Structure 1
Amino acid sequence: MGASYHQFCPVAKAMELLDERWTLLVVRELVSGSERFNELRRGLPRMSPTLLSRRLHQLVRAGVVERHVDGADVRYVPTQAGRELRPVLEALGAWGVRWIGELGDADLDPKLLLWDMHRHVNHNAVPAGRTVVQFRFRDVPADLRDWWLVIHTGEADVCDVDPGHGVSVTVHADLRALVSVWLGDLSWPNALRGGAVEVAGPEALRRALPRWFTLSEFAAVPRPTAPA
């Protein structure tokens, strides 16, 4: 736990645990369903493994997370205290959507975008069998340009190397544009109409693709009304 504020205020006491760097983002991943260390790392790609281990240990010690060990399988599961942080995170995210300014280029991460998208696949809308969506970001370095989302039997996985399956549709996009779609700042039709996002593949699949995803939970947050 971080240094004490020496205040009896419950906000101060909560922040002694939660305001250390990365802690709330670790909780974000845990309440979003990531349980294993490698899953957490994929949702926190710029966090060092050593620091992630330290933060998990602190959360376990504070009673926010339980560590479940079954042989070599180790899972981190939020306790009731951890689960009760979900609305706190939702409120913070909604506030950030409404009041934090435009994202900088360094904030745009294709790895994090695809990891978030794979958790929001609408499996009822995706065709039966295996569906592979290739994403090609034309405005990022070559080693981050190509990604594959493999959807099959109610599951989805993100690959940064060709998984070797036939591609159903290919999405060519500016990274900023697809992040804007994901966060609800740009609609699929407008992104496609303006050419910032292009979809290649059979016509029926191209038309259906936007329905394969439920957007980020923050996409529906009302934006502040501009002053008259």
Structure 2
Amino acid sequence: MAARDYGQYGGLSQALELVGERWALLIVRDLLVGPRRYGELAAGLARIPTNILAARLKELQAAGVIRRAPRSRIIVYELTPYGRELEPVVLALGAWGYKALSDPRDEQVITPDSMTMDLRTAFRPQVADTLPPTAYAARFSQTELLIRVDGSNLDVTRGDGPADLAFVTDSGIRRLISGEMAADLAIASGVVEVVRGRVALLDRFATTFHLAA
């Protein structure tokens, strides 16, 4: 179990004792995207010391949040059903934190899993349900994601692929998702570079993925 003990009896204090240690919720965030090997978790959380990663994994296992599972002669970490119940909590925290998000510091990076969860957070299924199915191939700095939207279903995978719109951007995508910048201005100012496909679909992307700052 986590070392933190608040000495209080209640749901929130119990939750913080289970997942409130530093890095714990970021490990949960990455595992919400999919099972990960130890090395994949370490690569996705590049600044986490190895002893802290090992300790957090042990604590989360003891709490019943994650488990070790064999996959073709390798061991991966995955969320338990109890751990997956944290998804709406993680998404809500992400939306709340997004309101205070500004331009990144020099040492801050976009990872595939962090961007995937940001897209899940910003996704508006009720809006997407009224739009035609659309696939986007997006490169956020060094992170390439294939984003498929079909009605209220969202599928985000790593890499490139066939898409109705392919574009390149960086942390400036925040301005588009927040509504601070319209799609045409994002293109004109260089925040987004359209590589292929219909330019007008960037407006559909901004309508589908929106988080008010």
What TM bracket, shorter-length normalisation? 0.5 to 0.7
8 Å Cα contact 2:168/2:194 also seen in 1? yes
Partner of residue 190, structure 1: 185
8 Å Cα contact 2:167/2:194 also seen in 1? yes
User: Which residue identity does 2:65 align to in structure 1?
Assistant: V
> What SS does the corresponding residue of 2:12 show, helix, strand or coil?
helix
8 Å Cα contact 2:110/2:140 also seen in 1? no
Give ranges in structure 1 of 5+ residues lacking alignment: 138-145, 160-164, 224-228
Larger Rg: 1
Q: What's the offset of the Cα at 1:82?
A: 0.9
1:72-106 CA distance string (max 9 Å, x none): 232323223212212222222222223x2534424
Give ranges in structure 2 of 5+ residues lacking alignment: 149-154
- The structure-2 alpha-carbon separation of the partners of 1:96 and 1:205, relative to structure 1 and needing over 3 Å to count, comes to same
Partner of residue 134, structure 2: 125
- The structure-2 alpha-carbon separation of the partners of 1:180 and 1:19, relative to structure 1 and needing over 3 Å to count, comes to same
Query: What is the 5 A alignment of 1:77-226?
Result: 77-98=78-99, 100=100, 102-106=102-106, 108-112=108-112, 115-116=115-116, 124-126=133-135, 135=139, 148-149=144-145, 156-158=157-159, 171-173=167-169, 175-182=170-177, 185-201=180-196, 204-208=197-201, 219-220=210-211, 222-223=212-213
Matched pairs, number: 196
Q: What's the offset of the Cα at 1:148?
A: 4.7
User: Which residue identity does 1:5 align to in structure 2?
Assistant: Y
Q: What's the offset of the Cα at 1:63?
A: 0.7
- The structure-2 alpha-carbon separation of the partners of 1:213 and 1:10, relative to structure 1 and needing over 3 Å to count, comes to same
C-alpha RMSD of the superposition: 4.1
User: Which residue identity does 2:56 align to in structure 1?
Assistant: R
- The structure-2 alpha-carbon separation of the partners of 1:115 and 1:45, relative to structure 1 and needing over 3 Å to count, comes to farther
Partner of residue 36, structure 2: 36
8 Å Cα contact 2:19/2:60 also seen in 1? no
8 Å Cα contact 1:172/1:199 also seen in 2? yes
Q: What's the offset of the Cα at 1:184?
A: 5.2
Deviates most, 37-46 or 52-61:
37-46
8 Å Cα contact 1:67/1:75 also seen in 2? yes
8 Å Cα contact 1:64/1:79 also seen in 2? yes
Distance of 2:42 and 2:203 partners within structure 1: 27
Q: What's the offset of the Cα at 1:26?
A: 1.0
8 Å Cα contact 2:30/2:114 also seen in 1? no
Distance of 1:34 and 1:135 partners within structure 2: 20
1:142-179 CA distance string (max 9 Å, x none): xxxx5555789x884248xxxxx9xx987454x33224
> What SS does the corresponding residue of 1:105 show, helix, strand or coil?
coil
Aligned residues: percent identity? 27
| TM-score, with structure 1 as normaliser | 0.63
Q: What's the offset of the Cα at 1:35?
A: 0.5
8 Å Cα contact 1:63/1:81 also seen in 2? yes
| TM-score, with structure 2 as normaliser | 0.66
